[in-house]
Amino acid sequence: MANSVLPTVDLSAFFNQGDKDGKKKATLEIEEACSEYGFFLAVNHGVPLELMSRALQVSKSFFELPDQEKFEYSLKPGATLPVGYLRSTENAAEKNEHFFMVLPTSTHNHCPSGFQQVLEETYPYFTNLALLVESIINDCLGLPPNFLKEYNNDRSWDFLMAHHYPASETDQSLGKTCHSDGNIITFVFNDGVEGLEVYKDGNWIPISPPQGTLVVNIGDTIQVMSNDKFKSAAHRVVRPRGRSRYSYAFFHGLGGDKMVEPLQHFTIKKGESPKYKGFLYKEYVQLRIRNRTHPPAKPEDVIGITHYAI
């Protein structure tokens, strides 16, 4: 299936207060995309291309360091949120690398200086963009004005993650197995190397956005709160043959002590039963972190949102 099936949404109207028609068009496109795919592409999103390019170059320089230097920044066990370097193995032949970063950096001193500088420049752009997209999703779902903004008012659970998927020697080598994101909204940008794929109707849709375009997807939290009105789509990364892939993902989360459950707007008011039991966001995050730090022996034992399905 062609990449063009995913809608590309122009967000420029939201930076131009007078363009009501542009805002309406973009909102309708996002509503359709979140209902149909759980993914869309965003252009004119306000994040400088130069900054994204520089962030990718800094992460590449870090991942090219000798292993001994990278391991000095390894994830510390037992952290509420991950900070530091992680080498994950989706299968025995692969050595995928990730670096997790949160703000404020001064609280952990576990971030290379180059990453810290890029982090501090990049974070405000993605935080503001996430709040914008969250408000659009709020309207798409027909929720009361500012409902998600007021409910999701804790930014300490957001984080930025740099990825490196080393080149594969074979075709269709998985860099990241099929999964969904557990948060509210995720933004991804990469170095132009293909690999990200979204699962839809039994097919894997390749996502190869033009330079400067962001990939946007909603997470499990929105799926649960909307009682499946919006979908948190399964996706994966296929490592291209002969080329390494570098990317960043910004995860717009939820306060750890917030309860996640189907909203009455989508259950009682519609006469429908909830499809999930409630849970604390931090509990789900901790289960997902354990998926990475202590991968289950069997793929079916990986914890996902179906863990809470009724």
Q: What is the per-residue pLDDT across 66-75, written as a single tens digit (0 to 9) for each?
A: 999 998 888 7
Structure tokens at 81: 């949120």
Beta-bridged to residue 245, according to DSSP, are 165
Min mean pLDDT across 109-113, 198-202, 220-224, 256-260 is at: 109-113
Distance in angstroms (rounded) separating the CA atoms of residues 281 and 30: 25
Which of helix, strand or coil describes residue 175?
strand
- The whole-number average pLDDT for the span 246-275 is 95
Tell me whether residue 91 is exposed, middle or buried, using C-beta atoms within 10 angstroms of its C-beta: 0 to 12, 13 to 18, 19 or more.
exposed
Reported as a single tens digit per residue, the pLDDT across 211-227 is 899 999 999 999 999 99
| Residue 1 confidence (pLDDT) | 38
Taking CB atoms within 8 Å and a gap of at least 24, the contacts of 258-262 are 258/151, 258/152, 258/154, 260/221, 260/224, 260/225, 260/284, 261/224, 261/225, 262/224, 262/225, 262/226, 262/227
The residue-averaged pLDDT of 115-140 equals: 92
Residue 91 in this model has a pLDDT that exceeds 70:
no
Give the rounded percent of residues in the chain with a pLDDT score beyond 70. 90
- Give residue-wise pLDDT tens across range 281-298: 999 988 887 877 777 777
Structure tokens at 213: 């375009």
CB of 43 within 8 A of CB of 209?
A: no
Going by pLDDT thresholds of 50, 70 and 90, the confidence category of residue 79 is low
- Band the pLDDT of 90: cuts 50, 70, 90: low
Query: By three-state DSSP, how is residue 187 classified?
Result: strand
Give the Cα separation of 187 and 41 in Å (integer).
9
Q: Is 259 exposed, middle or buried (CB count within 10 Å of its CB: 0-12, 13-18, 19+)?
A: exposed
| pLDDT beyond 80 at 103 | no
Q: Which CATH code for domain 3-308?
A: 2.60.120.330
| pLDDT mean over 95-118 | 72
Least confidently predicted of 64-68, 77-81, 122-126, 209-213: 77-81
Residue corresponding to tokens 């901790």: 286
Would you state the torsion angle of the CA atoms of residues 102, 108, 110, 112, taken in this order, to the nearest 10 degrees? Answer: 70
**Checking phi first, is residue 159 left (phi over 0); if not, alpha (psi -120 to 50) or beta?**
beta
pLDDT of residue 106: 46
Please state the φ and ψ torsions of residue 105, each to the nearest 5 degrees: -65, -25
Lowest mean pLDDT among 74-88, 189-203, 264-278: 74-88
- DSSP code string of 120-169: HHHHHHHHHHHHHHHHHHHHHTTPPTTHHHHHS--GGG-EEEEEEEPPBS
Residues in the chain: 310
The closest alpha carbon to 213, from 186, 244, 192, belongs to: 192
| Model confidence band, residue 194 (pLDDT cutoffs 50, 70, 90) | confident
Per-residue model confidence (pLDDT) at position 190 = 93
- Which residue in this structure is represented by tokens 């109707």? 201
Question: Average pLDDT for residues 29-34, to the nearest whole number?
Answer: 96
Tell me the pLDDT of the chain averaged across its residues: 87
Residue 273 pLDDT exceeds 80: yes
pLDDT, tens only, 107-124: 455 677 777 888 888 889
Does 208 have pLDDT greater than 60? Answer: yes
